Amino acid sequence: MPTNPVIVTPVGRHPSAAAHVEDVAAPIAADAAAEALKRGPVGALVLSAVAVGILFIGWLLLYLLLFLGRGPLG
pLDDT value at residue 6: 67
Place 71 in a pLDDT band, splitting at 50, 70 and 90: confident
Tell me: pLDDT of 14 over 90.
Answer: no
For residues 16 and 4, what is the distance between their CA atoms, to the nearest angstrom?
7
Domain range summary for the chain, segments of one domain joined by +: 41-74
Cα of 60 vs its chain's centroid, Å: 26
CB count within 10 Å of CB 53 equals 10
Residue pair 16/3 in contact by the 8 Å Cβ criterion: no
